Amino acid sequence: MKKSTLITTLLLTLMFVFSNDAQAQKFSKLDVSPMDAAAYPSDYRNAEKLIKIVYSRPQLKGRELGKLAPNGKVWRTGANEAPEITLYTDMKLGNTTVKAGTYTFYTIPGDEEWTAIISTDLNVWGSYFYNEANDVARLSVPANNADDSIEAFSIAFSEGDDGVDMNLAWGNCRVTVPFTK
């Protein structure tokens, strides 16, 4: 066998061995607070959405809600990045009209009421860089206690009196934020 053929065969064999052992991608572990989305109407066959929110779902894991979402402090309303809410039509939060578009949704938890905040901030991690000057609308809504506990923070939409209700649930806390037309 010629020397060049031997070297070529050896190189091809080494490439084959190393390429089979190599991984095309490395995936990190699953996020402990996975991203989720909720929209209204919630029927996946209806593409004519009025509102959608993309958020992350932290879990209590034996921790107190008040430690994870402290009363009186701006909270990212979930985990990781602050949720981004998209209105596909102009809607009102309280008496303030919010133009169709994408915004960040923050809350300020409390024992008896929460404040819902729509902000022009986008692509923010947590609420560390929250700037009140960027608020578009705020609304205080009652906080209620339920008998059943929800382990993972959850958001779901339902039909409201004159629009759409965004329902927040975590632990025994329940909050409804009404968006009206």
> What DSSP letter does each residue of 59-79 carry, written as one string?
B-TT--HHHHS-TTS-B-SSS
Asked if 100 and 90 count as a contact pair (C-beta separation under 8 A), the reply is yes
Q: How far apart are CA 87 and CA 98, in angstroms?
A: 8
Work out whether strand 135-159 and strand 113-119 pair parallel, antiparallel, or are unpaired.
antiparallel
User: Closest Cα partner for 54 from 128, 148, 124?
Assistant: 124
pLDDT tens, 38-85? 999 988 888 899 999 999 999 999 999 999 999 999 999 999 999 999
* The predicted structure's pLDDT at residue 6: 62
User: Closest Cα partner for 38 from 160, 157, 163, 168?
Assistant: 157
| Residue 165 pLDDT > 90 | yes
Whole-number average pLDDT of the chain: 90
Question: For residue 144, how many C-alpha atoms fall within 13 Å in the half-sphere facing its CB?
Answer: 9
Domains of the chain, by residue range, sit at 31-180
Work out whether strand 96-98 and strand 91-93 pair parallel, antiparallel, or are unpaired.
antiparallel
pLDDT tens, 81-118? 999 999 999 999 999 999 999 999 999 999 999 999 99
Query: What are the residues whose beta carbons fall under 8 Å from the beta carbon of 172, sequence distance 6 or more?
Result: 145, 146, 147, 148, 149
